[in-house]
Amino acid sequence: MTRQKRSHHKLKRAVAPYLYLSPSLLIIGLLMLLPMATVIAYSFQNSAVLRRDPTFAGLKHYQAIFDDPVFWASLWHTLYFTCMSVIFHMTIGMVFALMLNSDRINPTLRNILRVLYILPWLFTAVIIAVIWRLLLEPNGVVNSILMQIGIIGSKIEWFSSPETALHAVTFANIWAGYPLFMVSLLAGLQGIPKDFYEAADIDGAKAYQKLIFITIPQLMPIIISISLLDFIWTMQVFPLIWITTGGGPIYSTEVLSTYTYKLAFSSYNLSQASASAVVILLISLGLTLFYIRYQKAR
Amino acid sequence: MRKRHTPKDRLITVALHVALAAGLFFAAFPIYWMLSSSFKSNTEIFALPPTILPKAFTLEAYAAILGDPVKLRFFFNSYFVAGTVTVLTVLIALLAAYGFSRFNFRGKGSLNTLIISTQTIPPITLLIPFFGLVVSYGIFDTYVALILTYLVFTLPYAILLMTGYLNTLPRDLDEAVAVDGGTSWTALWRVIVPISLPGIVATSVYTFLLCWNEFLFALTLTKSTSMRTVPIGIQLLMGQHAFEWNQMMAMSVLGSLPLLLIYLVAQRYFLAGMTAGSVK
């Protein structure tokens, strides 16, 4: 190659990655970063979106949200829903993964059960909501089974009584989400070197000691990163609650996303909804930074 | 080796199998109930005591769904939007992933962090500005509105998945093309794409799934019944015929079919996509 040709080639190598990335960056810039800036701007305007020449509102909409008891109730419900979901996703996922990983069951049964245990994950949130509405109907199968074995005395309206609705939607979400943990932990379990357990056997370790001192520490990185991701994603829940309870009865299952949605598209208060959306964004970004820092430290 | 014949050991094995059965009931009963209800008449669904197997097996609910052009349109919309977004996403993500995987350039680290963090942007945050944009560009209630907004959410995952896959491929292959005087563009299409098919399939599967499940944007950015997707269709069905549970279950079964089929046929690719976010 001549020198000129080589420098031409070098230039091409230098520009090429940006060209390959440009369609993605264009889309992310125009349809993600720009809208994020827009929603922040909306939250400081009066009659955002609805008027062509909105006026500056300062922190008025944030003030309105922080003064609204429904916002604080939604925040609390979101936290309860998310924490319970993550804790139980992790516990159930761990128990199932350990059971499937045991050498006491035969491999065919293991494979069949693995497929069946993953099933809840394959269903869309809307469908999960519809299934649980059918199961938890006052005249539905859950009530009739519970009454037959004498756990409850009368029919419970799971989704339409304020005492049970939040627990019912949380339960449905727990059912729907544990397979992510199960699949990841199962992969993690298979990656733990066998010698660790053999060495423990020689030392006469009991099964629970092996669990506490080998298995769980080895799985810790997976547990932490999935918990963080699950937390971030579960916090954004919308369809499950929208279809089962719609946030009711009397706000008892209102979460941040349904609260924001109603502000925007039922009350058409798009400015205040934007303020609420920015609050959700900030919480998410905080957790994301935490997640990224954790991933980098690994 | 562990001893297998002590009574205590046998007891543990039995207990484990009882626990496995309980787990199976927990995981699969709701799905079984959906399936069996879709083959029942509406009165049988609430029969006392509940019938585990449909006593009078009927396909009337499926006939009602499949015979209704309005509902078939929901399915067409879902397939069309998810299919289009999948093709676009995979193409665009492949280019970006190639850039990330095969080049070193200024800003690579921060761009990578940017893409990882966009994975966790809450959809509800973007919904309001999207609504404003979609209305002002006159694309409210069109496929374009859905395709563009879905694309933003599928791209980050797809880029990370594809980059992860391309990083596993040896570099000598495309370097051989460079030695022969070929450009990186030639290397991408002649060498990388043909051997990346497993990665492309996994990315497509996951993208399709994200689109198929989308609810919030479809709910807000479309309005007419002919533009609705399956998840919204199920919600509409619920509002109109609150008591036609067998039809709702039949529609749910039909709406889950693509994902179930993909899962059964391409389990490996499916799981690769689903767990990608956590492994990266």
Per-residue model confidence as pLDDT tens digits over A276-294? 999 999 999 999 888 888 8
Confidence band of B279 (pLDDT split at 50, 70, 90): very low
Which residues have a Cβ under 8 Å from the Cβ of A276 and sit 6 or more positions away? A65, A71, A256, A259, A260, A263
CA-to-CA distance for B147 and B154, rounded, in angstroms?
10
Q: So what's the pLDDT on residue B172?
A: 83
Residue B31 clears pLDDT 90, i.e. is over it: yes
Say yes or no for a CB contact (<8 Å) between B105 and A270: no
Which residues have a Cβ under 8 Å from the Cβ of B232 and sit 6 or more positions away? B74, B215, B218, B219, B222
pLDDT digits (tens, 9 = 90+) for B100-118: 998 888 888 899 888 888 8
Q: Which residue has the higher pLDDT, B138 or A57?
A: B138
Task: Centre a 10 Å sphere on the Cβ of residue A139 and count the other Cβ atoms it contains.
Answer: 12
Residue B43 clears pLDDT 90, i.e. is over it: no
What are the φ and ψ backbone dihedral angles of A291, each rounded to 5 degrees?
-65, -45
CATH architecture of A61-297: Orthogonal Bundle (1.10)
Which residues between 215 and 244 in chain B have a beta carbon less than 8 angstroms from any beta carbon of chain A?
Answer: 215-216, 219-220, 230-231, 234-235, 238
Query: Quick one: average pLDDT of B60-81?
Result: 92
Residue A32 clears pLDDT 80, i.e. is over it: yes
Confidence band of A47 (pLDDT split at 50, 70, 90): confident
Query: Quick one: average pLDDT of A52-68?
Result: 87
Which residues between 86 and 105 in chain A have a beta carbon less than 8 angstroms from any beta carbon of chain B?
Answer: 95-96, 99, 102, 104-105
* CB burial of residue A227 (10 Å; 0-12, 13-18, 19+): middle
Distance of CA B40 to the CA centre of its chain: 28
CA distances from B172 to B71, B102, B108, B163, B187 (A): 52, 11, 22, 17, 11
What are the φ and ψ backbone dihedral angles of A288, each rounded to 5 degrees?
-65, -40
In chain B, what residues touch A288 (CB-CB under 8 Å)?
117, 120
Query: Quick one: average pLDDT of B145-149?
Result: 94
Q: So what's the pLDDT on residue A181?
A: 92
Query: Quick one: average pLDDT of A179-190?
Result: 91
Q: Which residue has the higher pLDDT, A294 or B85?
A: B85
State the count of interchain CB pairs (< 8 A) between A and B.
Answer: 259
CA-to-CA distance for A233 and A284, rounded, in angstroms?
9
Pick the CATH number of B65-279 from 1.10.3720.10, 3.40.50.1820, 3.40.1410.10, 2.40.128.120: 1.10.3720.10
Query: Quick one: average pLDDT of B137-148?
Result: 93
Say yes or no for a CB contact (<8 Å) between A122 and B213: no
Residue A263: which of A17, A74, A4 has the closest Cα? A74
pLDDT digits (tens, 9 = 90+) for A66-92: 999 999 999 999 999 999 999 999 999
Q: So what's the pLDDT on residue B275?
A: 64
Q: So what's the pLDDT on residue B276?
A: 60
Query: Is B183 at the interface with chain A, CB within 8 A?
Result: yes
Q: Which residue has the higher pLDDT, B13 or B174?
A: B13
Which residues between 114 and 143 in chain B have a beta carbon less than 8 angstroms from any beta carbon of chain A?
Answer: 114-118, 120-133, 135
Q: What residue ranges do the domains of chain A occupy? A: 61-297
The ipTM assigned to this model is 0.88
pLDDT digits (tens, 9 = 90+) for A2-16: 556 666 777 777 888
Q: Identify whether the C-beta of residue A81 lies closer than 8 Å to the C-beta of residue A255.
A: yes
Query: Quick one: average pLDDT of A258-279?
Result: 93
Q: So what's the pLDDT on residue A4?
A: 63
In terms of DSSP H, where are the helices of A191-254? Answer: 194-202, 207-210, 216-235, 239-244
Closest residue of B to A41, CA-based?
B129
Query: Quick one: average pLDDT of A90-112?
Result: 92
Closest residue of B to A126, CA-based?
B231
Q: Identify whether the C-beta of residue B211 lies closer than 8 Å to the C-beta of residue B218.
A: no
Q: Identify whether the C-beta of residue B206 lies closer than 8 Å to the C-beta of residue B274.
A: yes
Q: What residue ranges do the domains of chain B occupy? A: 65-279
In terms of DSSP H, where are the helices of chain B? Answer: 7-38, 42-45, 60-66, 69-102, 108-118, 123-136, 143-167, 172-179, 184-187, 193-195, 197-213, 216-221, 230-240, 245-265, 267-274, 276-279
Q: Which two tokens stand for residue A65?
A: 């949200």
Residue A183: which of B19, B267, B132 has the closest Cα? B267
CA distances from A250 to A66, A151, B18 (A): 19, 27, 41
Residue B156 clears pLDDT 50, i.e. is over it: yes
In chain B, what residues touch A295 (CB-CB under 8 Å)?
116, 280
Return mean pLDDT, chain A. Answer: 89
pLDDT digits (tens, 9 = 90+) for A226-261: 999 899 999 999 999 999 998 878 899 999 999 999
Query: Quick one: average pLDDT of B38-60?
Result: 84
Q: Which two tokens stand for residue B13?
A: 């094995």
- Tokens 């879902």 map to which residue? B78
Residue count of chain A: 298
Residue B63 clears pLDDT 60, i.e. is over it: yes
CA distances from A268 to A70, A213, B124 (A): 17, 55, 15
Say yes or no for a CB contact (<8 Å) between A42 and B132: yes
Q: Which two tokens stand for residue A193?
A: 């070197």
Residue B278 clears pLDDT 70, i.e. is over it: no
pLDDT digits (tens, 9 = 90+) for B118-131: 888 899 999 999 99
